[in-house]
Every structure is written in C-alpha cells, then in structure tokens.
Amino acid sequence: MRHNLRVNGARLQSRLERLAEAGARPDGGVNRLALTDADRDGRDLVVGWMRDLGLAVAIDAVGNVVGLRAGREDGPPVMMGSHIDTVLTGGRYDGALGVMAGLEVIETLAEAGCVTRRPLAVAFFTNEEGARFQPDMFGSLVFTGQLPLAAALATVGVDGATAGEELRRIGYAGDAAVGRPEVHAYVELHVEQGPTLEAEGFVIGAVEGVQGISWTELTISGQANHAGTTPMRMRHDAGYVAAEIATFARRLAGEIGGHQVATVGALTLTPNLVNVVPERAVMTVDLRNTDNAALKDAERRLTAFAAATAAAEGVTLESRTLARFDPVPFAAPLVARVEAIARELDLAVKRLPSGAGHDAQMLAAVCPACMIFVPSAGGVSHNIAEYTASDLCAAGADVLLRLVTELAE
Ligand code: HGY
Ligand code: MN
Ligand code: MN
Ligand code: MN
C-alpha cells in the first residue's frame, strides 16, 4: 500500500511520557524491572491502549502480550514490537519506543481508514533486559520455541524470586492455550543505545544484525581472615581474584579490538567489610563481539586466566553461563528496505550492527526480521539520562509505518 502517511509525533511522545510514569524514579529515570509492580503498571497501561485501539489482546503463559489488528485477509500478521521492562537505572526509550511506535502506527492507519491485507500486530516480550532474571530475552526465546516455557517459569531472579510466581503475582501468567502464533515478518524500532548515528550525523540506522553475547557468573570462594594479622602469603582473597579478572577482561577487550567489549557489571563481596579479607566474590562477565570466533577466543582466554589466578591464590572458582547467543544477521531484503525507505523520506541512513541484544534477534529464528535504529543522545543508554529527541522518534516511526504497511500488502 503506497501512502504518504506520517505518524503523529506529539501523540507518540505523550505515550512515551505516560509510560515513563510507570516505575518513575525520583531522579527522572525509569525502573521497571521485569515482573515487578512497576512492570505490571506499565503492562496494564499498554494493554489498555491496545484495547482502546480495538486490538485483540492475547497474553501467553510467559506474559508476552500481542495486540492483533485484523487485516482484509486472515493469516500470519506483520508484527511490530519490543519490550517495556527496563534495567534498574533505565530511561524512557529503551524498548518502550518500539512498542509505543507500534501503537502509533496502528492509530495512524486507523485514522486514515487504512486496513492492510495482512493482519498487523504490536507485541511486547517479557524480560528482554535480563537484569533481574537471566537469560535475557526469555519471553521472546519462549515465543520462538528456543527456550522451554517451564525453564523460563522456573528461573530464579537475582533477588531470589521465581519468574512463574512473579508472573502470577502481577496477573500476567497468561493463558497456556495461547500458543506460538505464526508471524509473517517482524520489525522493531529501537534507540541505538550507542554513539554511532549521532556522532556521524545519521537519523536512521538500518541494523544488519545483533552481535554475539556471552554472560557468565563466576563464584570465587576463598577464606575470610583478619585484614591486619594475615600475612599476604597466607591469604586466599576472593576479592583480589575478582579484581584481577575484572582488570584482565578490560585489557582483553583492548587487545582483541574490533567490536570486542567486556563488562564486569555485578560484583558482590562477602562479608564486604573493611577489615576482613573477602571469603567470597560473585561477579558477572559480559563479553560481546560481532565476530563469533573472536568472541569464543575471548571466552577461552578469560576462562584460562580466571582458573590460573584462582589456583595461584588458593581459592575455588565456579562458573555458570547466564546467557550465550551467537551473532544473528537480519533479513537482508528487509535491511535494504529500511535503507531505501529512509532515503525516500529524506532521512540520512547508515547500516550498522547492534551492540545490544534485542527481541528481534529471537524473532529472526522464525520469520524475516529487522530493526530500525534512531540516535541516542551522547550514545547513552541503561542510564537515567537516556534521551532521543521527539522528531527523531517520529522519523523512526515513519520508517516503521511505511515498512510494515508495505510488508502487510
Ligand atoms: O543487554 C542487552 O543487550 C539488552 O539490553 N538486554
Ligand atoms: Mn532494549
Ligand atoms: Mn536494554
Ligand atoms: Mn536490549
């Protein structure tokens, strides 16, 4: 369907602001950790908007929510979506933009009296962030048959809560009868969360794929001892080994170069007291690279260093994989259409990989999938200062509108 429709940027902005009130932090950020009360408040708000737009809302047994708009014909929908859960120090765009833009596309088409041949859907997937429950993206993993439902429901979060119980507690345990619907194609609008588009003066990112992601939890067990009386040669200092591993990870990323990144985001010492040699350290290591071979090399080198350092200090080391995803390419014809549509709309567009994980990488296993990026101010995300100007959000939503109406004919 050829059209010159444009979204209503002010309405899109207003929904983004309204959703940001669910889990609003006093410092202006957003904290909607998966399956918390704030997540429930956000879910209730979005489901209400879906119903106001006349969408048929289905909630599956892992809490994924899909709003469906009938087409002129039946059949698998063209789906837009993302997530509405956030990290603890989140902003108002990561995930939310893709879902709010999907609603805006539906409303723009409804106002214009346009009914596409194929049905359209707007979805948000449970626990994209993985900040509370790992692995991340377990909602879209279940939705695409890549993780058993039981495994997701049994997941125990960093706070000791069980995902299945939390889903029931917030009223989103859904309906086991809601299976895994077929999807004709999936398009996700998302903020870049990195510096490239803004730094190079582009408005739209035609995302070629998502880099590989490796999340590991290391538990280091040594011996608590007196900080003053214990000679250095007699220590089994779990905190020291954790610090060595963190420093090694940082150096390793520099040595490997390219897109390699390494992050020790969580580190807990026990007993965490000024005058006690730490007996235990629990830490996470996040390694990513667009090049899977290089990522595997980084994993091997980090594992070897951690084992050698632990042995030398006389501490034990246990390793647990929290998530491991190979790089995922998006459908080349769709990436090309994102690029071409951006140009038709006179929006400067650049092809680039995604540094962050996204639900689109899971949908890519079951249908042609792609992503549209818009710039992040200062390249900042997973930070309360996350910001993307409303005209850039609207530009991304215009590309989404045009692409999905094309795919739905
Ligand atoms: O970590 C990620 O890339 C995503 O935000 N869950
Ligand atoms: Mn996201
Ligand atoms: Mn995120
Ligand atoms: Mn993400």
pLDDT of residue 1: 63
Same domain for 133 and 163?
A: yes
Structure tokens given for 334: 């769709």
Which of 282, 306, 325 is the C-terminal boundary of a domain?
A: 325
Same domain for 368 and 221?
A: no
Percent of the chain's residues with pLDDT above 90: 98
| For residue 3, pLDDT beyond 80 | no
Same domain for 203 and 237?
A: no
The bridge status of strand 204-210 relative to strand 328-329 is antiparallel
Complex ipTM value: 0.92
Measured between alpha carbons, how far is residue 399 from residues 30, 98, 185, 208 in Å?
27, 12, 15, 16
The answer to whether 107 and 8 have CB atoms below 8 angstroms apart is yes
> Residue 355 C-alpha to ligand 1 middle, in angstroms?
9
Q: CB within 8 A of 9, min separation 6: which ones?
A: 390, 391, 393, 394, 397
Query: CATH no. for residue 234?
Result: 3.30.70.360
Q: Which atom of ligand 1 is nearest to the CA of 358?
A: 4
Which residues have C-beta atoms less than 6 Å from ligand 1? 128-130, 136, 356-357
Task: Give the number of other CB atoms < 10 A from CB of residue 359.
Answer: 30
Which of 298, 325, 352 is the C-terminal boundary of a domain?
A: 325
pLDDT in tens, 217-257: 999 999 999 999 999 999 999 999 999 999 999 999 999 99
pLDDT bracket for residue 71 (50, 70, 90):
very high
> Residue 13 C-alpha to ligand 2 middle, in angstroms?
18
- Name the domain count of the chain: 2
User: What residues make up the domain containing 153?
Assistant: 9-210+327-408
Structure tokens given for 46: 């979005």
Mean pLDDT of 126-137: 97
pLDDT in tens, 308-319: 999 999 999 999
Same domain for 101 and 145?
A: yes
**313 known member of a binding site:** no
pLDDT in tens, 175-233: 988 988 899 999 999 999 999 999 999 999 999 999 999 999 999 999 999 999 999 99
Q: Which atom of ligand 1 is nearest to the CA of 137?
A: 6
pLDDT of residue 139: 98
Which of 269, 294, 325 is the C-terminal boundary of a domain?
A: 325
In-domain check, residue 278: yes
pLDDT in tens, 93-121: 999 999 999 999 999 999 999 999 999 99
> Residue 194 C-alpha to ligand 2 middle, in angstroms?
12
- Ligand 1 pocket mutation pick from 32, 129, 263 by most atoms within 8 angstroms of CB: 129
Mean of per-residue pLDDT scores for the chain: 97
Same domain for 181 and 220?
A: no
Same domain for 25 and 143?
A: yes
